[in-house]
């Protein structure tokens, strides 16, 4: 016997760990109850962590015993981690760090007790990890490693933290390569991965490794896919971490202000991504980040950017509740400092001071600070006054100054000089000449003398210098000149010129890639001009703001001066930027600008745009975070437009121009609908409509083509037709289930659609293609049968039973596939409580229709259920078990109705069942045993009933001979005798296939013989007596009725009521228990010349259900005992009458 393999080193390590854990847990439990007076367990926890690492090194690749130890260590690690959570929530951290000690060389702070516990727990779980862990195990281990590593790093134990995070890197890689095809863990994977990167970033920052921290932060910021799956709380947590690092860099040194800007921008981007989920904490975080970012820009001397940030931040602060807080007041002072550094005009400085005064608490220190600030500003302004008619001096002065400043090598000084002069003139009473309003776009080259001589206005000169710098690609200088042209001095007489300057300045900033400045500038342009909205669109695109870009396109199309060429330019920009949603919006607006008419080129262009948009939407649907419902609705809307255009082109006979587009569109619609069946949840109506559109587009293509549709087109045509109407049926079912109500109009419309689809499929199948394809015929027939089931379902919902009957009659004429359809319809009727029995019976019996020449009054058609059942078995469309169940249901219904035709059908079915048992007696497909017993019992009982009926009939044969019904007696005797024999033979045949069949066959044979012998004796005895009485009655010729005492009322049978003499109450009563009604004369075309009916009571509502002793009752064929109506009552005779 082979001995079990032992790992002594691993076993010893495991035993040591378990011994230490037993000691540690007892101390921790005592500590939780009473924190004071316990020895330190940190050294023991440190030792457990090291032993767990040793255990991992001793791990073999596979061993059963080792796996049991690993599972035990894993459970101990989980328990220890849970204990750390209990300790954290107990609020005793401060006591813990004084009682237990630091251990592991940690600093003496509030987490000194938790760190050894968490480290040991992590190492134990790591030691118990499986060789091939699952996604859940990797997620838990990565979270534990991230939390432990960052806690150790914050405590200053960088070496141990590095070791833990190194292990976490391995698990992060395993998690990245793990398979998650259904996306069940994608949110958890994203969260755990981002938290791991954050832990690495914090650890690196605590070690002073700025490079690694920077790399980790970029991994977080650039991982758009994972960031989109994070919750707002996690994004806020990351933004706070970035903000803390950027703020610490800004505090350490002003030289690091530029580096701090990058961290703060990443923090702001994370907060901006949560705009749709803004909460109170997110809003506060955003304000804090913007405040630090403005300070960083100010420190790095980026005053323009600082002003842009403050312009965004101050309105948020002013609209908040804590407007007068000290932090917000510092922002207002910072804005004033930025204005002073930029040497802004005094009006801007005054506005900044006014905001400070409006929101400051009224205290002596605050008032003194404001007064000191006012003292540094110049309060003296040079006032220039001119008499009427002397405005040309101001124009000449400005032209000279502008020309002089354009030659200044110090660009900033020139701009400041011009800004000051423009402000002074704007605040004075000077008005420039009317020439300011005209010819602003002139860029001709002229000298100062020519400018003065031709009375050129200053705005023209500013525009000229700005344009010259723009052509030389000196974007910053050109932007400054354009902003001068937007000064208040020129805005009052000509606001449209200022808007042009704003747009040109914004374009210059876009060229400089300073998109924040461009956005700030273009927002100052408040006009509803298409060009302004286009520039706004450009700034939004370059900043990656999709919603803002789409909004700008919408506003641009509404502008009064809109030009379609702008949309063409926007299409190029959106395509280059790879912003598919923006491109989709632009193409949609481009489609709306087309003027549809008789031109074929317009239809071609529209089809091209539709194809581009549909292809874009299909690409966007692949993104797991896309708004699928909106995209799918948009795509269906575009397909609707394509359908309308195709129909219009067919009317105009211009389909040849768009034949390729039609082919692409119907195939794309069909494939998209097929894909949506498995991927689009809750979009059943859209999927059905896509199939319908694919069918219509394909029909349009086939109608316009001079060639006969090929087999592929026909196959897709019938498939799309079937799928479209099937989807509508399913949607109707869901609506009925959801609302619990039936809308007859919707059901009728649905029924009409089903009939149309059925006709379309049949027409497509009957078309002759280039080659005859049997697959198309087979599939088309299958679809038609399913549609018949749907049609029957709608009719059942509407309770239109006549229509259901017509459908059933049509189904059985359609070939071998009718069995499944027939069975499905029968199932629906069987479970429907409102279905009439006649309809259900018709459905159960319906089959191949053949005429019957043997019946005296044949119906229009005779159902032969045997044919459909046998055909079902021959074609392998119905299993033997289901065959037996259906046969039992049909036979039960036929026997219950108790008509001669029904009984003959039932015995025929039973005989057929015996043949099926003989043919299918294999264990795999055998006739069910319970059905065999049912066949045996039913056949025997029916045989006994037939014999009893015959015995009773001959026991009362006297009446038949008395009234010339001997022929009827003999006819009924022969038919029922034959029927009884068939039932006995069926019972004997079934005995061969049931357990104990020989014994049961012997008993049945004995009963058969005895009953037939009794029947023959009764026949000889009673028939002879009846014939003697008949001769006597013929000689006596009794003219008057003979009455016997009667105590029971009887109802007339249906075939007797017609034979009563009109207006007569003549009665003939003979033999106790019988009433015989005299017939009309022979000239009344009576079926029976001398008598009409013999009536007898029955104790149950079924004929021939029980045998009574003669001559108590007579059973007459065709009469059913029931409570008689008043008009058919034959009353009791008078007492004592003979």
HEC-encoded secondary structure of 707-729: CCCCHHHHHHHHHHHHHHHHHHH
DSSP state of 431: -
pLDDT in tens, 343-372: 777 777 778 877 777 777 766 677 777 766
* Contact in structure between 34 and 79 (CB atoms under 8 Å): no
| Residue that has been written with the tokens 């109500």 in this structure | 741
- In the three-class reduction of DSSP (H, G, I as helix; E, B as strand; rest coil), residue 792 is classed as helix
- The share of the chain scoring above pLDDT 70, in percent, equals 70
DSSP 128-175: T--SS--HHHHHHHHHHHHHHHHHHHHTT-HHHHHHHHHHHHHHHHHH
DSSP 651-698: HTT-GGGGHHHHHHHHHHHHHHHHHHHHH-TT-HHHHHHHHHHHHHHH
Smallest CA-to-CA distance from 1128 within 1076, 1053, 1074, 1044 is with 1053
Confidence tier at 88 by pLDDT (50, 70, 90)? low
Smallest CA-to-CA distance from 398 within 494, 498, 484, 468 is with 484
pLDDT higher for 791 or 971?
791
Phi, psi for residue 386 in degrees, rounded to 5:
-130, 150
CB atoms within 10 A of CB 414: 21
| Residue that has been written with the tokens 């091939």 in this structure | 132
Residue 879 has pLDDT above 90, yes or no: no
The winner for highest mean pLDDT among 110-119, 652-661, 956-965 is 652-661
Please name the residues in contact with 752: beta carbons below 8 A apart, sequence gap of 6 or more: none
* Contact in structure between 1110 and 1073 (CB atoms under 8 Å): no
Smallest CA-to-CA distance from 868 within 900, 840, 844, 895 is with 844
Q: What is the pLDDT of residue 723?
A: 92
Please name the residues in contact with 270: beta carbons below 8 A apart, sequence gap of 6 or more: 221, 227, 235, 236, 238, 239, 242
Q: What is the pLDDT of residue 665?
A: 93
Please name the residues in contact with 169: beta carbons below 8 A apart, sequence gap of 6 or more: 200
What is the rounded CA–CA span in Å between residue 522 and residue 749?
A: 55
pLDDT in tens, 689-718: 999 999 999 998 888 887 777 888 888 999
Q: Which helix (H) or strand (E) holds 1077?
A: strand 1075-1078
The winner for highest mean pLDDT among 37-51, 562-576, 808-822 is 562-576
Q: What is the pLDDT of residue 968?
A: 53
* Contact in structure between 163 and 148 (CB atoms under 8 Å): no
* Contact in structure between 1086 and 1063 (CB atoms under 8 Å): no
Degrees, nearest 5: CA angle 1028-1012-1001: 175
Q: What is the pLDDT of residue 689?
A: 92
pLDDT in tens, 1080-1123: 333 334 333 333 333 333 333 333 323 323 332 233 323 333 33
pLDDT higher for 112 or 212?
212
* Contact in structure between 187 and 624 (CB atoms under 8 Å): no
- In the three-class reduction of DSSP (H, G, I as helix; E, B as strand; rest coil), residue 850 is classed as strand
Mean pLDDT of the chain: 72
What phi-psi label fits residue 959: left (phi over 0), alpha (psi between -120 and 50 degrees) or beta? alpha
DSSP state of 621: T
Tell me whether the omega of the peptide bond preceding residue 1111 falls within 30 degrees of 0, making it cis. yes
Residue 1031 has pLDDT above 60, yes or no: no
What is the rounded CA–CA span in Å between residue 1119 and residue 1059?
A: 14
Q: What is the pLDDT of residue 410?
A: 79
Q: What is the pLDDT of residue 846?
A: 53
Confidence tier at 830 by pLDDT (50, 70, 90)? confident
What is the rounded CA–CA span in Å between residue 1137 and residue 1133?
A: 7
Residue 392 has pLDDT above 60, yes or no: no
Please name the residues in contact with 510: beta carbons below 8 A apart, sequence gap of 6 or more: 518, 538, 539, 542
Over residues 751-760, the mean pLDDT reads 89
On the CB side of 333, how many CA atoms lie within 13 Å of its CA? 12
Phi, psi for residue 622 in degrees, rounded to 5:
-70, -30
Confidence tier at 851 by pLDDT (50, 70, 90)? very low
Smallest CA-to-CA distance from 948 within 864, 1011, 1040, 871 is with 1011
Residue 110 has pLDDT above 50, yes or no: no
DSSP state of 208: T
Question: What tokens were used for 72?
Answer: 């035990």
DSSP 1001-1060: HHHHHHHHHHHHHHHHHHHHHHHHHHHHHHHHHHHH---S-------------HHHHTTS
Smallest CA-to-CA distance from 543 within 585, 514, 515 is with 515
- The share of the chain scoring above pLDDT 90, in percent, equals 6
Phi, psi for residue 1093 in degrees, rounded to 5:
-155, 150
b/e burial code for range 708-734 (CB count within 10 A of at least 16 → b):
ebeeebbbbbbbbbbbbbbbbbeebee
- In the three-class reduction of DSSP (H, G, I as helix; E, B as strand; rest coil), residue 847 is classed as coil
DSSP 566-620: HHHHHHHHHHHHT-HHHHHHHHHHHHHT---SS-HHHHHHHHHHHHHHHHHHHHH
Taking every pair of C-alpha atoms in the chain, what is the biggest distance, in angstroms?
159
Please name the residues in contact with 386: beta carbons below 8 A apart, sequence gap of 6 or more: 393, 394, 429, 430
Q: Which of 796-805, 831-840, 868-877, 883-892 has the lowest mean pLDDT?
A: 868-877
What is the rounded CA–CA span in Å between residue 909 and residue 865?
A: 8
HEC-encoded secondary structure of 345-363: CHHHHHHHHHHHHHHCCCC
Question: What tokens were used for 114?
Answer: 């938790």
- In the three-class reduction of DSSP (H, G, I as helix; E, B as strand; rest coil), residue 1076 is classed as strand
Smallest CA-to-CA distance from 984 within 1012, 1013, 1004 is with 1004
Confidence tier at 164 by pLDDT (50, 70, 90)? confident
Question: What tokens were used for 992?
Answer: 């061969």
pLDDT higher for 401 or 582?
582
Q: How far is CA 1132 from the centre of its chain?
A: 76
pTM, whole model, 2 decimals?
0.51
What is the rounded CA–CA span in Å between residue 900 and residue 946?
A: 11
What is the rounded CA–CA span in Å between residue 784 and residue 807?
A: 12
* Contact in structure between 1041 and 1068 (CB atoms under 8 Å): yes
Q: What is the pLDDT of residue 971?
A: 60
Sign of the alpha-carbon dihedral angle for 905, 910, 916, 920: positive
b/e burial code for range 243-279 (CB count within 10 A of at least 16 → b):
bebbbebbeeeeebbebbbbbbbbbbbbbebbeeeee
Q: How far is CA 179 from the centre of its chain?
A: 24
pLDDT higher for 182 or 242?
242
- In the three-class reduction of DSSP (H, G, I as helix; E, B as strand; rest coil), residue 1068 is classed as strand
Question: What tokens were used for 1024?
Answer: 């002879």
pLDDT higher for 269 or 817?
269
Question: What tokens were used for 290?
Answer: 């913007």
Confidence tier at 812 by pLDDT (50, 70, 90)? low
Residue 896 has pLDDT above 70, yes or no: yes
What is the rounded CA–CA span in Å between residue 993 and residue 930?
A: 11
Q: What is the pLDDT of residue 722?
A: 92
């Amino acid at each position: 016997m082979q001995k079990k393999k032992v790992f002594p080193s691993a076993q010893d390590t495991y035993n040591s760990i378990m011994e230490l854990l037993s000691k540690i847990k007892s101390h921790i439990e005592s500590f939780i109850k009473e924190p004071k007076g316990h020895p330190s367990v940190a050294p023991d926890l440190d030792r457990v962590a090291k032993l767990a690492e040793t255990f991992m090194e001793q791990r073999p690749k596979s061993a059963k015993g080792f796996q049991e130890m690993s599972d035990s260590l894993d459970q101990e690690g989980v328990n220890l981690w849970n204990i750390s959570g209990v300790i954290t929530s107990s609020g005793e951290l401060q006591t813990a760090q004084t009682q237990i000690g630091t251990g592991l060389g940690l600093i003496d702070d509030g987490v000194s007790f938790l760190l050894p516990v968490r480290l040991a727990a992590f190492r134990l779980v790591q030691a118990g990890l499986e060789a091939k862990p699952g996604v859940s195990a990797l997620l838990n281990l990565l979270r534990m490693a991230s939390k432990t590593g960052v806690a150790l790093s914050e405590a200053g134990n960088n070496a141990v933290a590095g070791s833990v995070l190194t292990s976490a890197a391995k698990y992060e890689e395993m998690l990245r390569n793990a398979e998650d095809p259904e996306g069940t863990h994608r949110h958890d994977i994203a969260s755990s991965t981002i938290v791991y990167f954050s832990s690495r970033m914090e650890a690196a920052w605590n070690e002073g490794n700025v490079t690694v921290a920077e790399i980790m932060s970029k991994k977080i910021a650039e991982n758009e896919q994972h960031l989109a799956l994070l919750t707002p709380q996690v994004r806020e947590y990351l933004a706070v971490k970035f903000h803390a690092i950027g703020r610490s860099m800004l505090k350490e040194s002003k030289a690091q202000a530029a580096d701090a800007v990058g961290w703060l921008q990443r923090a702001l981007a994370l907060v901006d991504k949560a705009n749709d989920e803004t909460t109170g904490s997110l809003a506060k975080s955003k304000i804090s980040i913007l405040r630090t970012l403005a300070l960083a820009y100010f420190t790095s001397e980026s005053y323009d950017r600082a002003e842009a940030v403050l312009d965004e931040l101050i309105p948020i602060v002013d609209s908040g509740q804590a407007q007068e807080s000290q932090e917000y007041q510092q922002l207002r002072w910072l804005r004033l400092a930025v204005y002073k550094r930029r040497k802004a005009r005094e009006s801007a400085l005054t506005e900044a001071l006014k905001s400070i005064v409006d929101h400051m608490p009224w205290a002596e220190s605050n008032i003194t600070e404001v007064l000191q600030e006012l003292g540094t500003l110049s309060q003296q302004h040079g006032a220039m006054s001119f008499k009427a008619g002397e405005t040309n001096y101001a124009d000449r002065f400005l032209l000279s100054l502008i020309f002089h400043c354009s030659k200044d090598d110090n660009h900033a000084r020139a701009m400041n000089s011009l800004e000051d002069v423009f402000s002074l003139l704007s605040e004075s009473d000077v008005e420039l000449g009317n020439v300011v309003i005209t010819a602003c776009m002139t860029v001709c080259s002229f000298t100062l003398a020519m400018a003065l001589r031709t009375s050129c206005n200053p705005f023209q000169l500013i525009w000229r210098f700005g344009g010259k710098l723009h052509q030389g690609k000196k974007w910053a200088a050109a932007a400054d000149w354009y902003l001068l042209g937007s000064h208040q001095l020129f805005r009052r007489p000509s606001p449209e010129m200022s808007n042009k300057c704003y747009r040109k300045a914004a374009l210059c900033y876009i060229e400089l890639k300073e998109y924040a400045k461009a956005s700030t500038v273009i927002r100052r342009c408040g006009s509803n001009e298409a060009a302004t909205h286009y520039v706004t669109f450009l700034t939004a695109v370059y900043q990656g703001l999709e919603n803002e870009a789409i909004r700008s396109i919408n506003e641009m199309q509404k502008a009064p001066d809109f030009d379609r060429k702008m949309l063409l330019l926007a299409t190029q920009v959106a395509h280059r930027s790879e912003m598919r949603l923006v491109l989709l919006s632009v193409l949609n607006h481009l489609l709306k600008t087309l003027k549809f008419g008789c031109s074929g080129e317009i239809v071609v262009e529209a089809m091209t745009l539709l194809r581009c948009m549909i292809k874009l939407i299909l690409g966007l649907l692949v993104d797991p975070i896309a708004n699928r419902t909106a995209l799918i609705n948009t795509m269906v809307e575009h397909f609707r437009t394509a359908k309308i255009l195709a129909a219009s082109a067919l009317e105009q006979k211009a389909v040849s121009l768009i034949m390729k587009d039609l082919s692409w569109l119907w195939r794309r619609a069909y494939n998209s609908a097929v894909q949506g069946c498995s991927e689009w949840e809750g979009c059943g109506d859209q999927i059905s409509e896509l199939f319908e559109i694919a069918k219509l587009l394909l029909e349009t293509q086939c109608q316009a083509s001079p060639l006969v549709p090929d087999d592929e087109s026909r196959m897709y045509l019938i498939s799309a037709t079937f799928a479209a109407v099937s989807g509508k049926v399913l949607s109707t079912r869901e609506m009925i289930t959801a609302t619990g109500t039936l809308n007859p109009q919707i059901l009728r419309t649905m029924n009409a659609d089903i009939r149309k689809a059925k006709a379309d499929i049949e027409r497509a199948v009957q078309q002759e293609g280039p080659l005859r394809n049997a697959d198309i015929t087979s599939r088309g027939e299958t679809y038609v049968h399913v549609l018949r089931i749907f049609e029957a379902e709608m009719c059942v919902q509407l309770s239109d039973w006549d229509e259901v009957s017509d459908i059933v009659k049509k189904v059985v004429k359609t070939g071998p596939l009718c069995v499944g359809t027939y069975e499905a319809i029968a199932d629906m009727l069987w479970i429907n409580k409102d279905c009439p029995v006649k309809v259900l019976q018709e459905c159960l019996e319906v089959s191949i229709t053949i005429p019957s020449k043997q019946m005296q009054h044949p119906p229009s058609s005779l159902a032969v259920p045997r044919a459909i059942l046998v055909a079902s078995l021959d074609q392998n469309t119905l299993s033997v078990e289901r065959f037996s169940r259906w046969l039992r249901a049909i036979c039960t219904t036929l026997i219950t109705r108790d008509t001669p035709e029904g009984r003959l059908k039932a015995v025929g079915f039973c005989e057929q069942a015996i043949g099926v048992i003989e043919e299918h007696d294999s264990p795999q497909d055998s006739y069910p045993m319970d059905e065999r017993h049912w066949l045996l019992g039913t056949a025997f009982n029916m045989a006994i009933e037939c014999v009893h009926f015959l015995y009773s009939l001959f026991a009362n044969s006297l009446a038949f001979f008395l009234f010339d019904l001997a022929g009827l007696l003999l006819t009924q005797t022969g038919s029922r005798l034959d029927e009884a024999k068939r039932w006995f033979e069926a019972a004997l045949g079934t005995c061969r296939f049931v357990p104990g069949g020989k014994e049961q066959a012997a008993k049945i044979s004995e009963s058969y013989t005895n009953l037939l012998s009794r029947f023959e004796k009764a026949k000889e005895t009673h028939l002879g007596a009846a014939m003697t009485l008949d001769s006597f009655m013929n000689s006596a010729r009794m003219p008057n009725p003979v009455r016997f005492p009667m105590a029971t009322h009887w109802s007339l049978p249906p075939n007797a009521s017609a034979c009563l003499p009109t207006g007569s109450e003549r009665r003939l009563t003979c033999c106790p228990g019988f009433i015989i009604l005299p017939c009309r004369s022979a000239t009344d075309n009576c079926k029976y010349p001398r008598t009409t009916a013999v009536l007898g009571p029955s104790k149950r509502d079924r004929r021939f259900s029980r045998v009574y002793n003669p001559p108590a009752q007579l059973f007459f064929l065709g009469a059913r005992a029931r409570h008689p109506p008043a008009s058919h009552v034959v009353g009791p005779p008078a007492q004592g009458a003979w």
